[in-house]
Amino acid sequence: RTIGDRIGEAKASGNLGNTLKILGQFDEAVVCCQRHLDISQEQGDKVGEARALYNIGNVYHAKGKHLSWNVAQDPGYLPQEVKETLQKASEYYERNLSLVKELGDRAAQGRAYGNLGNTQYLLGNFSEAIAFHKERLAIAKEFGDKAAERRAYSNLGNAHIFLGRFDISAEYYKKTLQLSRQLKDQAVEAQACYSLGNTYTLLQDYERAIEYHLKHLVIAQELGDR
């Protein structure tokens, strides 16, 4: 501010916002991220503007998740305050998405699609969540980003469960499992086995359910995860 560096001030405000978000001070975080947005717009800095929109979305997303922890319920059955907060997150992610499309930034589009999928899932809009996660998946494949691809499969599996499409969920969870083994991530592998166990229980294929739950158990024991 002293040297009149507006772009520098915008970036610093954004960093403060992100830090406050991590500290759980969501309302203060929004103020700082909004400052980042305002200055970026005033300076015609499209990249900064996109980043600020994404960060504000993140703050509302984190706040919504934080508020919903106190009400352990299935996605979609949310108190009004949580719903409004997640809808705000969604709106900022949408604004970010249209801007990064304009800028031709595919990697940023991938991040926006993933987060839109997650917010729509929490809001109980499972078909919308699936559409966004499919976009996320396509971009992850485009970049050869195996970790993001793995997350997309997992999220697609979760959303299909709530639509009662258990067989489709099982296919997505199997892809999750395959990739978690490729990535040598045992915790995620265990999680995928757990999801498959539950899905096969819903499909009333109890033999297979047992098989996957046993795999989950073995990894949990290996990892010493009580």
pLDDT tens figures, 51-105:
999 999 999 999 999 998 877 667 777 889 999 999 999 999 999 999 999 999 9
Residues 2 and 113 in one domain: yes
Residues 91 and 132 in one domain: yes
Domain stops at, among 128, 143, 158: 143
Q: Average pLDDT for residues 165-180, to the nearest whole number?
A: 98
Residues 86 and 187 in one domain: no
Query: Could you give the number of structural domains in the chain?
Result: 2
Contact predicate 163/199, CB 8 Å: no
Residue whose structure tokens are 């400052």: 35
Say which residue, 217 or 67, is predicted with more confidence. Answer: 217
Domain stops at, among 86, 121, 143: 143
Residues 125 and 85 in one domain: yes
Residues 93 and 137 in one domain: yes
Give 3-state DSSP helix, strand, coil % of the chain, rounded to 5.
Answer: 80, 0, 20
Residues 80 and 170 in one domain: no
Residues 108 and 136 in one domain: yes
Mean pLDDT over each residue of the chain, to the nearest integer: 96
Domain stops at, among 113, 143, 173: 143
Residues 201 and 160 in one domain: yes
Predicted confidence band at 168 (pLDDT cuts at 50, 70, 90)? very high
Residues 152 and 139 in one domain: no
Q: What are phi and psi of 89, to 5 degrees?
A: -55, -45
Q: What is the pLDDT of residue 72?
A: 63
Q: Average pLDDT for residues 128-141, to the nearest whole number?
A: 98
Q: Average pLDDT for residues 144-170, to the nearest whole number?
A: 97
Predicted confidence band at 43 (pLDDT cuts at 50, 70, 90)? very high
Residues 91 and 12 in one domain: yes
Handedness of CA 188, 181, 114, 172 (dihedral sign): negative
What DSSP letter does each residue of 91-111 carry, written as one string?
HHHHHHHHHHHHTT-HHHHHH
Residue numbers of the domain that contains 120: 1-143
Q: Average pLDDT for residues 159-169, to the nearest whole number?
A: 97
Angstrom distances, CA of residue 66 to CA of 20, 34, 44, 112, 159: 14, 20, 33, 20, 21
Cα gap 72→69, rounded to integer Å: 6
Residues 156 and 113 in one domain: no
Residues 102 and 160 in one domain: no
Q: What is the pLDDT of residues 191-212, one digit of tens each?
A: 999 999 999 999 999 999 999 9
Least confident stretch, 17-31, 64-78, 121-135, 147-161: 64-78
What percent of the chain has a predicted confidence (pLDDT) above 90? 94
Cα gap 176→178, rounded to integer Å: 5
Name the 3-class secondary structure at 3. coil
| CATH number, domain containing residue 128 | 1.25.40.10
